[in-house]
């Protein structure tokens, strides 16, 4: 949906949407345009088919109170938890082994008399077992990403 920035402040912007809606969107100093547009997208007004059938169906009423944490704090906590998960030799191996499809294709070709691909697959599997032995020290997902990058080369 198209938007136009109506107001800019140090901690938020106000945008008008092409369908007549508007939103006050929080911003942070380390965000670039793409990150801010991601936040703006969270405020795109719902279409009518997503609205409650009546005000009585809305699970909150005027005067209700509650306590919520910051969405951004909860996302940061979830990211920290994800990065703390340990990657063991099994995790490294599962990421590094040739795909099952490639292995099955090599087996089929070997049964037909050409073991060239199967020999290469076997050598690759042997190298993975050497590179990631069962007794290797586990590292966290965060350490893995810091070392190898996000989805970078196979560990």
List pLDDT tens digits, range 58-115. Answer: 999 999 999 988 888 888 899 999 999 998 999 889 889 999 999 999 999 999 999 9
Does 60 map to a domain?
no
- Asked whether residue 92 falls in the same domain as residue 41, the answer is no
Q: How many CA atoms lie within 13 A of 21 on its CB side?
A: 15
- Asked whether residue 89 falls in the same domain as residue 141, the answer is yes
Give the pair of three-digit tokens for residue 17.
């949407």
Q: Domain tally for the chain?
A: 2
Does 137 map to a domain?
yes
Rg (CA), the chain: 26
Give the pair of three-digit tokens for residue 98.
């040739």
Does 24 map to a domain?
yes
Does 63 map to a domain?
no
Say whether 139 sits in a helix, a strand or coil.
strand
* Domain ranges, residue 43: 1-47
| pTM flag (> 0.85) | no
Residue 20: pLDDT above 90?
Answer: no
Residue 126: pLDDT above 90?
Answer: yes
Does 36 map to a domain?
yes
Q: Distance between CA 61 and CA 57 in Å, rounded?
A: 10
Say which DSSP state 149 is in.
-
Does 80 map to a domain?
no
Does 13 map to a domain?
yes
Distance of CA 74 to CAs 22, 78, 87, 113, 150, Å? 25, 6, 23, 57, 21
pLDDT tens profile 128-141 = 999 899 999 998 98
Q: Distance between CA 128 and CA 57 in Å, rounded?
A: 57
Per-residue pLDDT at 147: 82
Band of the pLDDT at 151, cuts 50, 70, 90?
low
Does 72 map to a domain?
no
Residue 152: pLDDT above 70?
Answer: no
Give the pair of three-digit tokens for residue 7.
């107001």
Q: Distance between CA 4 and CA 18 in Å, rounded?
A: 8
């Amino acid at each position: 949906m198209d938007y136009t920035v109506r107001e800019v402040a140090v901690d938020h912007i106000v945008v008008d949407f092409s369908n007549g809606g508007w939103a006050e969107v929080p911003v942070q100093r380390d965000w670039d345009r793409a990150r801010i547009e991601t936040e703006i997208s969270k405020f795109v007004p719902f279409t009518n088919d997503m609205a409650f059938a009546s005000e009585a169906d809305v699970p909150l009423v005027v005067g209700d109170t509650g306590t919520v944490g910051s969405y951004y704090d909860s996302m940061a906590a979830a990211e920290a938890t994800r990065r703390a998960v340990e990657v063991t030799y099994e995790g490294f191996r599962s990421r590094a082994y040739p795909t099952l499809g490639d292995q099955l294709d090599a087996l089929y070709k070997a049964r037909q008399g050409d073991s060239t691909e199967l020999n290469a697959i076997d050598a690759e599997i042997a190298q993975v077992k050497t590179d990631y032995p069962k007794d290797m020290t586990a590292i966290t997902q965060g350490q893995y990403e810091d070392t190898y990058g996000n989805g970078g080369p196979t560990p």
